[in-house]
């Protein structure tokens, strides 16, 4: 079990090691013998809530008989980069994926909406959801890894920043490794005086038919916005969704991390209200299967 957290500047360190072009890496391809059946009942449900200036949650609910195997969300409207998706989680019971949007500490002029996105399927063999929490953070950033039970693969991820009442601690990373998920957060550019921690949820299952992971990075620069897609190979579809900001140092917020089609995961992020002078990028994870 690799599980734990620390107070290092994880995002920045990862940015340093991942600064080169990482294009269309296909990782963790599972060799399967014999006939493989597709995961049945696969669908992607997307809902968008009201446009206003209040903190709010939006749930995307799976059809009867199916469960959430992955999910994501997006913010649209005014204040992009100032509204954090700081809580992105499958709901208990696995019937919906929930995304909460909250404004930064000095608010946003204008209205915005939350979109939630659920990847749903007839429960694949071995489906189980496990969660854990980091220790309270004493640094400006933190991360937490939650492993799947032995032999299972991580196909979906949820994460939450706990302890801040607005988006003063930014949920930066919802990363899917082969057998674990990693959730990371960072205090905003002016810091946060309170205590906070991270919750991480891994949606795990037996290896999926034809499972492969596609990871793609945006360019690495100090542009105000960055976006990238991870596209599933021909014959496979998106089953799991992940994304992360590398090098954002709490001054970049995810504005989109979701399946934008049955074969594509899109991740976008934008710098905060007064910008960010360093280079950063976003990374998209697609767990693809037949």
Query: Facing residues of 129 across strands?
Result: 203
Contact range with Ca ion by CB under 5 A, out of 17-25, 31-39, 209-217, 276-284: 276-284
CB atoms within 10 A of CB 88: 28
Determine which helix (DSSP H) or strand (DSSP E) holds 15, and give its type and residue range.
helix 10-17
- Residue 145 sits in the site that holds Ca ion (CB under 5 A): no
Residue pair 73/120 in contact by the 8 Å Cβ criterion: no
Q: Which stretch binds Ca ion (CB under 5 A): 7-15, 125-133, 187-195, 261-269?
A: 187-195
Binding mask 219-258 for Ca ion (x = CB under 5 A): --------------------------------x-------
Pick between residue 39 and residue 87 the one whose CB is nearest to Ca ion. Answer: 87
- Binding letters toward Ca ion, positions 3-32, x by CB under 5 A: ------------------------------
Q: How far is the CB of 37 from Ca ion (least distance, A)?
A: 49
Where does this chain touch Ca ion (CB under 5 A) — which range of 7-15, 26-34, 184-192, 240-248? 184-192
Our finding on whether 86 is near Ca ion (CB under 5 A) is no
Burial of 54 (0-12, 13-18, 19+ CB in 10 A): exposed
CB-based contact 79:110 (threshold 8 Å)? yes
Q: How far does the chain reach from its first CA to its final CA, in angstroms?
A: 28
Which residues would be at the binding site for Ca ion (CB under 5 A)?
Answer: 82, 104-106, 168, 188-190, 251, 272-274, 276
């Amino acid at each position: 079990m690799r599980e734990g957290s620390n107070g290092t500047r994880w995002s920045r360190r990862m940015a340093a090691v991942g600064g080169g072009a990482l294009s269309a890496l296909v990782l963790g391809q599972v060799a399967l013998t014999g006939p493989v059946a597709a995961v049945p009942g696969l669908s992607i449900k997307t809902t968008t809530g009201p446009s206003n200036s209040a903190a709010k949650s939006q749930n995307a609910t799976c059809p009867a008989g199916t469960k959430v195997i992955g999910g994501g969300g997006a913010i649209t409207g005014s204040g992009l980069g100032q509204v954090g998706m700081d809580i992105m989680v499958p709901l208990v019971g696995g019937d919906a994926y929930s995304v909460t949007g909250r404004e930064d500490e000095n608010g946003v002029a204008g209205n915005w909406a939350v979109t939630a996105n659920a990847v749903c399927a007839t429960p694949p063999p071995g489906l189980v959801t496990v969660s854990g929490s980091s220790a309270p953070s004493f640094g400006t950033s933190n991360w937490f890894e939650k492993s799947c039970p032995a032999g299972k693969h991580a196909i979906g991820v949820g994460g939450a920043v706990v302890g801040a009442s607005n988006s003063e601690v930014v949920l930066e990373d919802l990363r899917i490794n082969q057998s674990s998920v990693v959730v990371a957060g960072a205090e905003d550019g002016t810091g946060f005086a309170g205590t906070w921690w991270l919750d991480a949820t891994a949606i795990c299952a037996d290896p999926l038919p034809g499972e492969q992971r596609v990871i793609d990075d945006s360019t690495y620069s100090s542009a105000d916005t960055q976006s990238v897609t991870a596209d599933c190979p021909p014959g496979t579809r998106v089953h799991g969704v992940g994304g992360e900001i590398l090098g954002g140092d709490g001054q970049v917020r995810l504005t989109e991390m979701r399946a934008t089609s049955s074969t594509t995961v899109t991740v976008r992020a934008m710098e905060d209200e007064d910008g960010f002078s360093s280079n950063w990028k976003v990374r998209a994870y697609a767990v693809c299967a037949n």
